[in-house]
Amino acid sequence: MAKNILKTPALLQYILETSSYPKEHEQLKQLRETTIQKYGKMSVMNVPLDEAQFISMLLKIMNANKTLEIGVFTGYSFLTTALALPPNGKVIGIDMDREAYETGLPFIQKAEVEHKIDFIHTDAFSGLNGLIDGKHEESFDYAFVDADKENFTKYHEVLLKLVRKGGIIAYDNTLRSGSVAMSEDDEMDDNTKRKRKIAIEFNNYIANDTRVESTIVSIGDGVTLCRVL
């Protein structure tokens, strides 16, 4: 199961069963199953269903048309975004792992939204800078960042040039399984400690950034929404 900070799996199940939002799209379901078969434990990198539904709802509320994703992997959030966008909408995805993207591509094709996607195979920082040189400044309605967490601050600085005023930059995994609110003295393995530290530093940075207003949503593993001022 993908990462989720809710207290019990039963509560997550309840939320999913009691939401009238369209049930998981067949191609999303198949994409997740294929990812589990191919990537095993690493498949937890796909965003969980409740977070995907939240993102989809947000994009529709915003009437988002032009969007960006940093960290595509096999494309669960990528396909979710493409499905939520209007017929002429576009989502540009950046990832250095082409094989993972190609694992999910058949499901994007079967869902008939391939015309809405554009995949850039490169590292995130050069991909983002390439968009600036390509004159995409202040043109994106929404960006979703789900790549290497230690570089979120660096990506934020570039994204502020790419996302329009009033647009949203969303960052994934900012609550780190709740570890951000744990004490340093609590028992944690070294990996959790490292991830917790990175998340806390990023969360503090965003909380003090007067160029955006932000809120951390306790869905999935925590999603920070920044509205560009």
Q: How many CB atoms lie within 10 A of CB 124?
A: 20
Residue 215 to residue 217: CA distance in whole angstroms: 6
Both structure tokens of 68: 């960006």
Q: Which helix (H) or strand (E) holds 225?
A: strand 223-228
Minimum CB distance to ligand SAM smaller for 49 or for 226: 49
3-class SS of residue 114: helix
Applying CB under 6 A, does 73 fall inside the site for ligand SAM? yes
Contact letters for ligand SAM, residues 179-198 (x by CB under 6 A): --------------------
Q: Which of 16, 96, 160, 200 binds ligand SAM (CB under 6 A)?
A: 96
What angle, rounded to 10 degrees, do the helices at 76-84 and 98-110 form? 40
Q: Which of 55, 124, 198, 219 binds ligand SAM (CB under 6 A)?
A: 124
Q: Which of 131, 147, 199, 206 binds ligand SAM (CB under 6 A)?
A: 147
Q: Which of 146, 158, 212, 228 binds ligand SAM (CB under 6 A)?
A: 146
Q: Which residues contact 28 (CB under 8 A, 6 or more apart)?
A: 52, 76, 79, 80, 83, 107, 111
Q: Which of 75, 89, 167, 222 binds ligand SAM (CB under 6 A)?
A: 75
Q: Which residues contact 226 (CB under 8 A, 6 or more apart)?
A: 156, 168, 169, 170, 171, 206, 209, 212, 213, 214
Residue 109 Cβ, how far from ligand SAM at the closest point, in Å? 16
Applying CB under 6 A, does 76 fall inside the site for ligand SAM? yes
Size, binding site for ligand SAM by CB under 6 A: 20
Residue 146 Cβ, how far from ligand SAM at the closest point, in Å? 4
Q: Which of 56, 77, 103, 203 binds ligand SAM (CB under 6 A)?
A: 77
- Chain residues binding ligand SAM by CB under 6 A are 45-47, 71-77, 94-97, 100, 123-124, 146-148
